[in-house]
Amino acid sequence: MQMAKRRNRAAGNHAWIAYLFLLPWLIGFFGLVLGPMISSLYLSFTQYNLLQPPQWTGWSNYEGLLQDSNFRDAVQVTLTYVFISVPTQLIAALLVALLLNRGLRGLGIYRTVYYIPSLLGGSVAIALLWKNLFGMNGIVNDFLSFFGVEGRGWVTHPDYALYTLIILATWQFGASMVIFLAGLKQIPQELYEAAAVDGAGKFRQLRMISLPLLTPVIFFNLVIELIKTMQSFTSSYIVSEGTGGPINSTLFYTLYLYQRGFSYFEMGYASAMAWLLVLGLGAMTAVLFLTSRYWVHYEDGGKL
């Protein structure tokens, strides 16, 4: 009986030690994540300008969003940006990964070179560089002048400004490329050898072996890039100088949220926008998970 009590006491002491090590994470989670989220949810039902106490207004912020033309423009611009940049980025990442998987010499150097843009892509410096590249006196117009093509301000033209940001997002494919490359390295070479013996060419091997076995990796990259791209902010803010570009052509959702919260000090309105973004991301991610059972394949034949 005494031994059992001692064991229970020792187990309790070990549990407290474990909680002690978890304490920094718990403080961060409740103080920096869960607490602000609950506060933001409350503020989304209030009128709050940071200077006066919040006043409860019910659903007025959400009703105002439905009548806000700038909000509709921000949603349209963001969805266009996401549905074009995410597929093009993943395709570019997969093509480069397939190229690097051919056993090139100096693979580590190539992998680093392609990965660097994804590390720097969210920085202010890269956004400023991109703005200068596509400006009236930028390198892009200098290059086009050699072919007699008249240059223009690509980042200030409403028909082209968004596509310059899409090109920037596509250029940042390094992280997805590294994951694709790791997935390709896990595919057994015996499958390719057997397919070659049966007369299958490179394209057929890609379609029948590589792509089906890469579908879990494709699914992972798709979810991660979707969430990341929906929250893009820096490129739009820097290139448009915080205005959202000509005729709101680069008014990303997060940029408009920032404007309402920190330019107009409508924190309740901005909080409502933030929670709609959370719900929208949750719905899109849920759709991807629900549809993954039809196209994501695992080596053991299981489904997600």
pLDDT tier at 145, thresholds 50, 70, 90: confident
If we measure between CA atoms, which residue out of 302, 295, 268 comes closest to residue 58? 268
To the nearest 10°, the Cα dihedral for 236, 240, 242, 248?
A: -80
What is the tens place of the pLDDT at every residue in 265-286?
999 999 999 999 999 999 999 9
What is the tens place of the pLDDT at every residue in 168-203?
999 988 889 999 999 998 988 898 889 888 888 888
Token pair in block for residue 210: 């590589």
Beta-carbon contacts of 231 under 8 Å, excluding residues fewer than 6 positions away, are: 254, 277
Phi and psi angles of residue 47, each rounded to the nearest 5 degrees, phi first = -105, 115
If we measure between CA atoms, which residue out of 136, 114, 78, 128 comes closest to residue 235? 128
If we measure between CA atoms, which residue out of 131, 141, 79 comes closest to residue 235? 131
Residue type, 271: S
Tell which phi-psi region holds residue 32, choosing left (phi > 0), alpha (psi between -120 and 50) or beta: alpha
Which pLDDT does position 152 carry in this prediction?
81
